[in-house]
Amino acid sequence: MHALLKSGLKSAIRAVPPVHRLYRQRNQALVERDRAVAELEHERRSARVNSQRCFQRGTTEDQDRALRLFRLFSPVTLTSAPMIRVGQAGDGGYAMADDFSNIQAAFSFGIGKETSWDSDIAQRGIKVFQYDHSVDGPPLPNSRFVFHKKMIGAEQTKTSESIASSLCEHGTTDTRNVLKIDVEGSEWIVFDAASPSDLQRLSQIVCEFHDFEQIDDEVWYKRALCAMTKLRSIFEIVHVHANNHGHLGIFYNVPFPVVLEATFINKTSHSFAPNTKTFPTPLDTPNQTGFADVFLGTFQF
């Protein structure tokens, strides 16, 4: 009897015109929300499928064009120093040569909310000059951090700095500088604008490269090819690691990650041999924890 009375009162309240309209509006809003969520998920799923299939086909010329760029990322083995991990396990850490005894300045381009690499470098007594226009400062203070709320680009402006201008302000004139760069796709413009003489002042570079799915864009491709050709004239790549937040793309039937971390070592400072490693190595951990790392093999093209 109590349940019937409660149900009757509920029905009566809903039947009152203003309340009834509110319930109807609420139900319509919920339906529209569910439809929007379903459409968004469909778009995301389609985008993932399309991005993975976009470059599966192509001519032999298309494939040769892609391989011309990809070969510039093939690593060698560093024989003159051990490799270590700098930064935390997961996103933010990089494999580097354990060769910091003479380093005077470190540059961290793009920090966001993660500065474990910067902290590890600072623990070695090295000042870290940070640049990021998207945050107001590092998440944790450190007496050896020097933060600049500026973006990194092709040239120095009121709101941006370049490799040349940052080195001019804080770097040494020789190779006692190291660079970490993670600027979400702007790395191509940054390296394309850098002169060989400025790059020569860097002992090591660790960089996360993005946007390989733009390989069919001629402007992007020429810039990437020019930047990598210049970098490889000065540096050897000694380590590669795919960021598993992205996927392993198929570019004209050639597998290559859409986001790739690479470690560059200045040729004047070290000795090298043909690559004998399979990537990922024991120094690597997945950027996205809980998911498998991306297997790259020897990464020779």
How confident is the model over 240-281, as pLDDT tens digits?
A: 999 999 989 999 999 999 999 999 999 998 999 999 999 999
Residue 185 resides in a domain: yes
Q: What is the pLDDT of residue 58?
A: 87
Residue 168 resides in a domain: yes
* Residues 114 and 41 reside in one and the same domain: no
- 203 Cβ neighbours under 8 A, 6+ residues apart: 99, 103, 175, 176, 177, 178, 265, 266, 269
Mean pLDDT (whole number) for 210-228: 97
* Residues 23 and 67 reside in one and the same domain: no
Q: What is the pLDDT of residue 187?
A: 98
Q: How far apart are CA 266 and CA 168, in angstroms?
A: 19
Which residues are registered as beta bridge partners of 263?
A: 206, 239
Residue 283 resides in a domain: no
Q: What is the pLDDT of residue 178?
A: 98
239-256 as b/e, with b when 16 or more CB fall inside 10 Å?
bbbbbbebbebebbebeb
Least confident residue range of 24-38, 110-124, 135-149, 182-196: 24-38
Q: Tens digits of per-residue pLDDT, 145-190?
A: 999 999 999 999 999 999 999 999 999 999 999 999 999 999 999 9
* Residues 142 and 186 reside in one and the same domain: yes
User: Which of these three, 53, 74, 89, is where a domain ends?
Assistant: 53
CATH number of the domain at 196, please.
3.40.50
* Residues 238 and 113 reside in one and the same domain: yes
Q: Tens digits of per-residue pLDDT, 65-111?
A: 999 999 999 999 999 999 999 999 999 999 999 999 999 999 999 99
Residue 285 resides in a domain: no
* Residues 31 and 119 reside in one and the same domain: no
* Residues 203 and 229 reside in one and the same domain: yes
- 287 Cβ neighbours under 8 A, 6+ residues apart: 90, 91, 243, 244, 245
Q: What is the pLDDT of residue 42?
A: 44
Mean residue pLDDT of the chain comes to 89
Question: In 3D, which of 261, 263, 257 has the Cα closest to residue 212?
Answer: 257
Please check the confidence at residue 5 and state whether its pLDDT lies above 80.
no
Q: How far apart are CA 189 and CA 148, in angstroms?
A: 20
Q: What is the pLDDT of residue 57?
A: 73
- 189 Cβ neighbours under 8 A, 6+ residues apart: 153, 154, 223
Q: How far apart are CA 8 and CA 30, in angstroms?
A: 25
100-139 as b/e, with b when 16 or more CB fall inside 10 Å?
beebebbbbbbbeebbbbbbbbbeeebbbbbbbbeeeebe
Residue 160 resides in a domain: yes
Number of domains in the chain: 2
Residue 288 resides in a domain: no
* Residues 140 and 6 reside in one and the same domain: no
Q: What is the pLDDT of residue 53?
A: 45
* Residues 32 and 123 reside in one and the same domain: no
* Residues 6 and 154 reside in one and the same domain: no
* Residues 35 and 163 reside in one and the same domain: no
Domain housing 64: 60-273
* Residues 119 and 222 reside in one and the same domain: yes
* Residues 79 and 209 reside in one and the same domain: yes
Residue 70 resides in a domain: yes
Q: How far apart are CA 100 and CA 29, in angstroms?
A: 59
Residue 296 resides in a domain: no
Q: How far apart are CA 32 and CA 159, in angstroms?
A: 42
